[in-house]
Amino acid sequence: MRALFDTEGRSKMKKRKSVALLVERSDEYSRQLLRGIRDFLSINPYWSIYLPEHEREVTPGWLKGWSGDGIISRLESVEMTQAISELGIPIVNLSLLELIPGIPSVTADNHAVSKMAVEYLNELGYRQFGFCGDPAFRWSMEREQSFVSELQQMGLSCDVYHALPVAQPNFSWNLERERLIVWLQSLRRPCAIFACHDIKAQKILDLCRELSIAVPEEISVLGVDNDELLCDFSDPPLSSIALNTRTVGYIAAEMLTRMMSGQETSPSSVRVPPSEICLRQSSGERAVDDPFVAKALKFIRESSFEGINVTDVLSFVGLSRRSLEHRFVKLLGRTPHEEITRIRISEAKRLLIETNLGINEVAERSGYPQLDYFSAAFKREAGMSPRSFREHARSRE
């Protein structure tokens, strides 16, 4: 067995560093940062962690008497970060709000975030764009500037909405709501809106539903952060850019380790590109620049599980079958009947994977009152029976 003490009785074990993590845990972004730090510690277990309860706007009082070795901070102001910098120990800043001169930082690459949004929305065929941002935050302004610039290079323009500062004395959600409604109603449709983060995107979806604006047929919405709980609570569920935040936390821990050992950090500022776009129903397969098709798609999306057929769609839209099918095939590459089937089978797959409902119940909730017809349609589309699909999906998980 390896000796834990030298000949004079001193411990040979590596001394742990005392590190404070000033990262509150109220949102998914912060929690992913902490998971990334934990990933680093799983292979470098030489820290004693202080993870207090606090808010981003408050400097913990206990820090004044704390004699630690390093800090990873997501405090949201220059003044508070400068206050902890006076402790004279290594600090890595994770805040997207401010960059502090002399303090190394690791954050999301906002230019890469906006570039990913432009490329995705442009591929869907949109030519009208909107950006919903908050000028109180530097990261929002960076995303706005990059989004608008990327579009301008493609010969496209963007309608920008700036939210009212929450900190202003006369701020109210009612006033903000009215301003946002006016902006949404002014947009030429179909339009793709890129929101600075998921919270803004979710508010847009709420108002679109209130105003009877079809999403994604008339307005497509894309957020940032991929806060899965918030995205799934949105109606329809929100498409969002995942920021690779876990990697941000890992790199920050790696950087602080070098700083605490006396090594120089180069570069002093690291920007981590996003990982992917997590697609949900708020962004369509492509822009629909046909009011009849958009109207039909909205009706199909909202009514497919109630046993509708193509005749019902034709009555709602007011077109002949031949005319509507021609428009559908031209824009989407499929007929109205195929669109109804696609939505129903997609819902059936979701229910089979995410719930323990019986096959009969799955069939009814997917718009198929007859089990035999559902089983045949499902096997034709998915290549296997509903039961086999559930077993296969769960075995892969």
pLDDT tens string 96-152: 666 667 788 899 999 999 999 999 999 888 899 999 999 988 899 999 999 999 999
Kindly report the backbone phi and psi dihedral angles of residue 179, in degrees, each rounded to the nearest multiple of 5, phi listed first.
-65, -40
pLDDT band per the 50, 70, 90 thresholds, residue 7: low
269: tokens are 């500022």
pLDDT band per the 50, 70, 90 thresholds, residue 11: very low
- Tell me which fold the domain 17-107+246-272 belongs to: Rossmann fold (3.40.50)
Sequence-distant (≥ 6) Cβ neighbours of residue 209 within 8 angstroms? 215, 235
Let me know the angle formed at the C-alpha of 230 by 214 and 144, rounded to the nearest 5 degrees. 70
Look at residue 1 and tell me whether its pLDDT is greater than 50. Answer: no
Reduced DSSP (H G I as helix, E B as strand, rest coil) percent helix, strand, coil of the chain, to 5: 50, 15, 40
Q: 335-366: per-residue pLDDT in tens? A: 999 999 998 998 999 899 888 999 999 999 99
pLDDT above 70 as % of the chain: 88
User: In the CATH scheme, what architecture does the domain 110-243 have?
Assistant: 3-Layer(aba) Sandwich (3.40)
For residue 132, give the DSSP letter. Answer: E
Q: When comparing pLDDT for 96 and 326, which is higher?
A: 326
70-73 and 17-22 as β-strands: parallel, antiparallel, unpaired?
A: parallel
Look at residue 6 and tell me whether its pLDDT is greater than 70. Answer: no
pLDDT value at residue 173: 84
239-242 and 276-278 as β-strands: parallel, antiparallel, unpaired?
A: antiparallel
Domain chopping of the chain, boundaries: 17-107+246-272, 110-243, 291-396
**110-243 and 291-396 share one fold:** no
Sequence-distant (≥ 6) Cβ neighbours of residue 206 within 8 angstroms? 234, 235
For the chain, what is the mean pLDDT? 86
CA distances from residue 98 to 20, 90, 229, 289 in whole angstroms, order as listed: 19, 18, 27, 41
State the virtual CA torsion across 34, 35, 40, 45 in degrees, nearest 10: 80
Let me know the angle formed at the C-alpha of 362 by 365 and 369, rounded to the nearest 5 degrees. 60
Q: Where is average pLDDT lowest: 46-60, 149-163, 226-240, 276-290?
A: 46-60
Q: Where is average pLDDT lowest: 5-14, 244-253, 370-379?
A: 5-14
CA distances from residue 185 to 110, 159, 178, 194, 243 in whole angstroms, order as listed: 28, 12, 11, 16, 30
Among left, alpha and beta (phi > 0; psi -120 to 50; other), residue 43 is: alpha
Sequence-distant (≥ 6) Cβ neighbours of residue 285 within 8 angstroms? 124, 332
According to the CATH classification, is domain 291-396 in 3.40.50.620? no
